[in-house]
């Protein structure tokens, strides 16, 4: 296990690898849990060398309080990663290291993917994600980079990012890892009380029921049904429910059997915002 904090040391490490060494990159914001570990394990299986980046990227936070309260657990992250394998490089730079003098985002055109759902409710978020992921991909030049389907819209945007920037990397999407009650694992879950964590299981239970409804009902019907279900749980504030196709992330008008759809949801519990989705 090696911990590196600077771009210079990262470059030196990468220059020491032979041409035939395949590199897997797992970008994270730390506060690691089993969801992250599933990405790391896959990267370790599929590459000679795995690099895990840990960087809480300021430019993707549209809400200052969310950034300030984002959990920071570097020591625990290092020990969790060492329990997977010792053959890992952790890259944990500072904001100054990643952004030099100016902490700001580039502006991207992700062909509409960035304007819906997370993009609508977190203005500028995907410019921030695009900026940091592009920087990381250019620094590391990995053969493969791993992202979770919990952030499905982010995964689609990163696939678009590498196409529009012509970065040669395989983007690997990994399934959502859940708590026993169905709650999608997320670093922000650490901010929930025991009772809130229990109650948050309702999000996935409702998505599963919505999937069943979607078998025979229209998307509009199912979304209305979900909204009504949340009215019975006033501690959970539904921000959005959207049924969309997985390619363009556009709302469904008429169901088409050859198209894949997902239901996407964002919910507040107190001031903690959680997202989830399910394949329909």
Ligand X SMILES: Nc1ncnc2c1ncn2[C@@H]1O[C@H](COP(=O)(O)OP(=O)(O)OP(=O)(O)O)[C@@H](O)[C@H]1O
User: Is there binding between residue 133 and ligand PAF (CB under 6 A)?
Assistant: yes
Residues 6+ apart with CB under 8 A from 36: 26, 28, 52, 148
Q: How far is the CB of 197 from ligand PAF (least distance, A)?
A: 20
- Where helices occur in 24-181 by DSSP H, the ranges are 34-46, 64-68, 74-84, 95-99, 118-121, 125-140, 152-165
Which two structure tokens, joined as six digits, stand for 123?
């203005």
Look up 36 and say whether it is catalytic.
yes
Q: Which does 174 bind (CB under 5 to 8 A by kind): ligand BAL, ligand X, ligand PAF, none?
A: ligand X
Considering the rule CB under 6 A, would residue 179 count as an interface residue with ligand X?
no
Of the pair 219, 273, the CB lying nearest ligand X is at 273
Answer yes or no whether residue 149 interacts with ligand PAF by CB under 6 A. Answer: no
CA distance 236 to 230: 7
The counts of H helices and E strands in the chain are 11, 9
Q: Is 115 annotated in some ligand binding site?
A: no
Q: What is the largest CA-CA distance in the chain?
A: 59
Annotated catalytic residue, options 36, 48, 125, 233: 36
| Positions in 2-41 near ligand X (CB under 6 A) | 28-29, 35-36, 38-39
Closest-approach residue to ligand X (CB)? 148
Sequence-distant (6+) residues with CB within 8 A of 37 are 80, 84
Count how many Cα atoms sit within 13 Å of the Cα of residue 101 in the half-sphere of its side chain.
0
For the segment 186-215, give every residue that binds ligand PAF (CB under 6 A): none
Contact mark string toward ligand BAL, 52..81, x via CB under 6 A? --------x---------------------
Q: Any contact of residue 151 with ligand PAF (CB under 6 A)? A: yes
Residues marked active site are found at 36
Binding site for ligand PAF (CB under 6 A): 27-29, 57, 60, 129, 132-133, 151, 154
Q: Which residues in this chain contact ligand BAL in the complex, by CB under 6 A?
A: 60, 151, 154
Annotation: binding site for beta-alanine:
60
């Amino acid at each position: 296990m090696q911990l590196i904090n600077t771009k210079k040391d990262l470059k030196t490490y990468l220059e020491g690898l032979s041409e035939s060494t395949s590199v897997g990159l797992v970008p994270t914001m730390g506060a690691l849990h089993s969801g992250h570990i599933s990405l790391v394990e896959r990267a370790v299986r599929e590459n000679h060398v795995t690099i895990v980046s840990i960087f809480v990227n300021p430019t993707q936070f549209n809400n200052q309080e969310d950034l300030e309260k984002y959990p920071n657990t570097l020591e625990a992250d290092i020990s969790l990663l060492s329990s997977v394998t010792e053959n890992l490089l952790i890259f944990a730079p500072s904001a100054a290291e990643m952004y030099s003098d100016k902490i700001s985002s580039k502006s991207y055109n992700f062909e509409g993917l960035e304007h819906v759902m997370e993009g609508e409710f977190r203005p500028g978020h995907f410019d921030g994600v695009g900026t940091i992921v592009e920087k990381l991909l250019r620094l590391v030049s990995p053969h493969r980079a791993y992202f979770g389907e919990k952030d499905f819209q982010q995964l689609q945007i990163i696939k678009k990012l590498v196409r529009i920037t012509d970065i040669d990397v395989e983007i690997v999407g990994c399934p959502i890892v859940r708590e026993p009650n169905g709650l999608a694992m997320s670093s922000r879950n650490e901010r929930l009380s025991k009772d809130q964590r229990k109650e948050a299981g309702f999000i996935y239970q409702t998505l599963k029921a919505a999937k069943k409804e979607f078998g025979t009902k229209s998307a509009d019907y199912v979304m209305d049904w979900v909204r009504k279900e949340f009215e019975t749980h006033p501690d959970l504030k539904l921000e959005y429910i959207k049924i969309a196709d997985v390619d363009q992330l556009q709302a469904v008008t008429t169901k088409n059997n050859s198209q894949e759809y997902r239901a996407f949801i964002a919910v507040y519990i107190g001031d903690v915002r959680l997202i989830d989705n399910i394949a329909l």
